[in-house]
Amino acid sequence: MQAAWYSALGAASDVLEVGEVRTPEPGPGEVLVLVMASGVNPIDVKRRAGGRGGMSTSRVTPHFDGAGVVEAVGDGVEPGRVGERVWLYEAQWQRQQGTAAEAVVLPARLAVPLPEAASFEEGACLGIPALTAHRCVFGDGQVEGKTVLVTGGAGCVGNYAVQFAALSGARVIATVSSEEKGALATRAGADAVINYRSESVPGAVSELTEGEGVDRIVEVEFGGNLADSVEILKPRGVVAAYASQGHPEPSIPFYTMMYRNLVARFEIVFGMSEDAKLQALDDLCGWLEQGCLHHPTVQAFALDDVVQAHLAVEEGILGKAVINFAD
Q: Do 42 and 163 lie in a common domain? A: no
How does pLDDT run across 171-206, given as a tens digit for each residue? 999 999 999 999 999 999 999 999 999 999 999 999
How does pLDDT run across 82-113, given as a tens digit for each residue? 999 999 999 999 999 999 999 999 999 999 99
**CA separation, residue 315 to residues 69, 201, 219, 229, 311 (Å):** 31, 25, 20, 27, 6
Please check whether residue 290 lies inside any domain of the structure: no
Mean pLDDT confidence for 33-42: 98
Q: Do 160 and 183 lie in a common domain? A: yes
Q: Do 260 and 180 lie in a common domain? A: yes
Q: Where are the alpha helices (DSSP H) in the chain?
A: 12-15, 42-49, 120-125, 127-138, 156-167, 179-188, 201-208, 222-232, 254-259, 274-290, 306-314
Q: Quick check: 173 and 214 in contact, CB under 8 A?
A: yes
Please check whether residue 289 lies inside any domain of the structure: no
Q: Do 142 and 259 lie in a common domain? A: yes
Which CATH number goes with the domain that contains 93?
3.90.180.10
Please check whether residue 286 lies inside any domain of the structure: no
The model's pTM? 0.96
Please check whether residue 104 lies inside any domain of the structure: yes
* Position 10 pLDDT exceeds 80: yes
Percent of the chain with pLDDT over 90: 97
Residue 148 binned pLDDT confidence (cut-offs 50, 70, 90): very high
* Position 52 pLDDT exceeds 80: no
Q: Do 228 and 254 lie in a common domain? A: yes
β pairing state of 192-195 and 171-176: parallel
* Distance from C-alpha of 195 to C-alpha of 2, rounded to nearest angstrom: 44
Q: Please count the structural domains in the chain.
A: 2
Range of the domain at 138: 132-270
